């Protein structure tokens, strides 16, 4: 970090312009974090998949299946998700934790939309273009960026969004990440979307590790709905301790406002 003052000086010495070839971050972010079709709707589906858990004792897998519901009750209201696990096939060692694991699956899916609520607390920028017309967006927690600017930069830079974005980009680089790790919420985020704002990947970086979600979509009556989702998980099991894992679910038999998708 001893060279940050020099870096800050170089970054703010000249005009700050968007990287050539990228969609402007100011254009992309509203598309990612808002719904282009905020009308009321309801979609139901069935899901099946696996929950894989791993700790010091080894790796175990369970099979899950059930029903899924996604809806918006009124125009402009946030979408909601609801999951009901109807089948949970567990190996012998995990059977005492059936209720806890069922709750883990349900909450992990139902709360995914809430991950977006943290983004006002990050300085976000375009990292790079990705194959298939996609864009990688990175972000560093705003309190971390503010701390660096206050220590090495100018007081006026704290309120300059263009400067903050350039500092965040520099701190985001893998060589700098060990210097910005902080406890609490994620200190760094990575999002992959297309230029229309459709999300395909969200990674949250904590001081204890990374949690990532990957999504594939199907269009049902003109609305994108989950077709497949992979989610990192972490939970505390009684008498076992912290257990990390992965939830991989596939959705089928989508019904939009009770009209079955072909």
In terms of CATH architecture, what is 4-260? Clam (2.50)
**If the chain, 262 residues long, is cut into consecutive pieces of 10 residues, what is the mean pLDDT of each piece?**
50 45 87 88 96 86 96 92 95 92 93 78 94 94 94 89 93 91 94 94 93 95 94 86 92 87 52
Query: Which structure tokens are listed for 174?
Result: 């893998």
User: What integer pLDDT is reported at residue 245 of this predicted model?
Assistant: 93
User: What integer pLDDT is reported at residue 116 of this predicted model?
Assistant: 73
Task: Give strand pairing partners of 222.
Answer: none
Contact 135, 23 (CB under 8 A): yes
User: What integer pLDDT is reported at residue 8 of this predicted model?
Assistant: 55
- How far are the Cα atoms of 45, 112, 128, 153 from residue 19, in angstroms, in the given order? 41, 31, 9, 23
Task: Kindly report, residue by residue over 19-44, the tens digit of the pLDDT.
Answer: 546 789 999 999 988 888 899 999 99
How does DSSP assign 102-153, residue by residue? Answer: HHHHHHHHHTGGGGGGGGGGEEEEEEEEEGGGEEEEEEEEHHHHHHHHHHHS
Pick the closest to residue 166 from 9, 1, 2, 3 (CA basis).
9
Query: Which structure tokens are listed for 253?
Result: 């038999």
Query: Which structure tokens are listed for 135?
Result: 């864009």
User: What integer pLDDT is reported at residue 118 of this predicted model?
Assistant: 83
User: What integer pLDDT is reported at residue 14 of this predicted model?
Assistant: 42
All structural domains of the chain with their residue ranges = 4-260
CA angle 167, 169, 170 (to 5 degrees): 65
Burial 138-148 (b: 16+ CB within 10 A, else e): bbbbbebbbeb
């Amino acid at each position: 970090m001893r060279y940050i003052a020099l870096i800050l000086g170089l970054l703010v010495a000249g005009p700050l312009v968007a990287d050539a070839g990228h969609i402007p971050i100011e254009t992309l972010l509203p598309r990612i974090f808002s719904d282009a079709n905020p009308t009321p709707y309801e979609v139901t589906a069935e899901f099946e998949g696996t929950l894989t858990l791993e700790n010091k004792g080894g790796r175990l897998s369970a099979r899950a299946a059930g029903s899924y519901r996604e809806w918006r009750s009124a125009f402009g209201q946030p979408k909601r998700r609801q999951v009901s696990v109807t089948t949970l096939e567990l190996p012998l060692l995990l059977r005492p934790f059936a209720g806890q694991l069922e709750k883990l699956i349900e909450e992990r899916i139902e709360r995914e939309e809430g991950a977006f609520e943290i983004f006002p607390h990050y300085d976000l920028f375009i990292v790079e273009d990705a194959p298939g017309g996609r864009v990688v967006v990175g972000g560093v927690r705003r309190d971390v960026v503010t701390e660096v600017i206050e220590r090495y930069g100018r007081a006026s830079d704290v309120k300059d969004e263009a400067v903050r974005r350039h500092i965040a980009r520099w701190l985001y680089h893998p060589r700098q990440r060990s210097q910005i790790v902080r406890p609490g919420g994620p200190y760094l985020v990575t999002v992959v979307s297309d230029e229309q704002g459709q999300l395909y990947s969200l990674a949250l970086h904590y001081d204890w590790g990374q949690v990532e979600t990957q999504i594939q979509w199907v269009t049902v009556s003109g609305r994108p709905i989950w077709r497949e989702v992979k989610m990192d998980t972490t939970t505390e099991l009684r008498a076992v301790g912290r257990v990390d894992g992965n939830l991989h679910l596939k959705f089928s038999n989508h019904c939009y406002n009770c009209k079955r998708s072909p």
